[in-house]
Amino acid sequence: MITIKNKKDIAALRRAGQELSRILKEVRLLVKPGITTIELDRKADYLIKEKDYQAAFKNYNGFPKTLCTSVNEAAVHQIPSDYKLKEGDLLSLDIGLIKDGYYADMAFTIGIGEVTEEAQRLMKITHQSLKAGIKRLQPGKTLGDVGNAIQKVVESNNFTIVEDLCGHGIGHDLHEDPNVFNYGQPGRGLTIRPGMVFCLEPIASTGGKNIKRGPDGQSYITKDHSLTAHYEHMVAVTPEGPVVLTSF
């Protein structure tokens, strides 16, 4: 069931989103070669707890930590560990919190030190595809329009959408209806209405679209071990158009 949020709901989601973006920005400042992903998780967990918020991911479907720290071929949900980030890695940080009963969720990818030109392009294009999808979150448009906009940006630049992973609605739960796919046909699917709130999260790879479970039992990695990038914003649909609730 798709819930329509009122102005009070959207204001609360914006407050949660701004707090989440502040926390993720602080975590990002620690990212460098040699730091472990578990250290990044500890920082995120501390920043959430010090404000008496709740970590949305911890214990969700068995995920044991606060922060998803997905490296290179890991597309999503990699558990933080003693892995030391090294020059040339791509790290996707995905995080959620609960504030006053409202959920916020966001993600981005960062290169560690000097990364290859292909990796730089992958990050740039995946981020551009997110922006293109957000622009289509207009009343009267459809989720097919949104997915198609994302897909066009990624595929026209010779990268691949990881189709089995998608965005979602959000509000009083982390994952609400509907699923928001990163591909689609214009004019098809759910008609977008004011009061809807979505997490758009394109995930693209330098190789194939197929994924499998990672060795940690939570992550999904590309079957061909190609590099991935992941960007996510929480966005409210208003009568005037989309409003990003997790902007830095």
Residue at 85 is within a domain: yes
Query: Are 115 and 30 contacting, i.e. CB atoms less than 8 angstroms apart?
Result: no
Query: Are 154 and 125 contacting, i.e. CB atoms less than 8 angstroms apart?
Result: yes
Residue at 73 is within a domain: yes
CATH number, domain at 56? 3.90.230.10
Query: Are 196 and 2 contacting, i.e. CB atoms less than 8 angstroms apart?
Result: yes
Residue at 182 is within a domain: yes
Residue at 101 is within a domain: yes
Query: Are 85 and 91 contacting, i.e. CB atoms less than 8 angstroms apart?
Result: yes
Residue at 2 is within a domain: no
> What pTM was estimated for this model as a whole?
0.97
pLDDT, position 74: 98
Residue at 39 is within a domain: yes
- Ordered DSSP codes for 152-163: HHHHHTT-EE-T
Q: From first to last of the 248 residues of the chain, give the pLDDT tens digit.
A: 899 999 999 999 999 999 999 999 999 999 999 999 999 999 999 999 999 999 999 999 999 999 999 999 999 999 999 999 999 999 999 999 999 999 999 999 999 999 999 999 999 999 999 999 999 999 999 999 999 999 999 999 999 999 999 999 999 999 999 999 999 999 999 999 999 999 999 999 999 999 999 999 999 999 999 999 999 999 999 999 999 999 97
What percent of the chain is helix, strand and coil (3-state, nearest 5)? Answer: 30, 30, 45
Residue at 1 is within a domain: no
pLDDT, position 248: 78
What's the structural domain count of the chain?
A: 1
Residue at 152 is within a domain: yes
For residue 89, what are the domain limits? 7-244
Map 71-112 to HEC letters: ECCEEECCCCCCCECCCCCEEEEEEEEEECCEEEEEEEEEEC
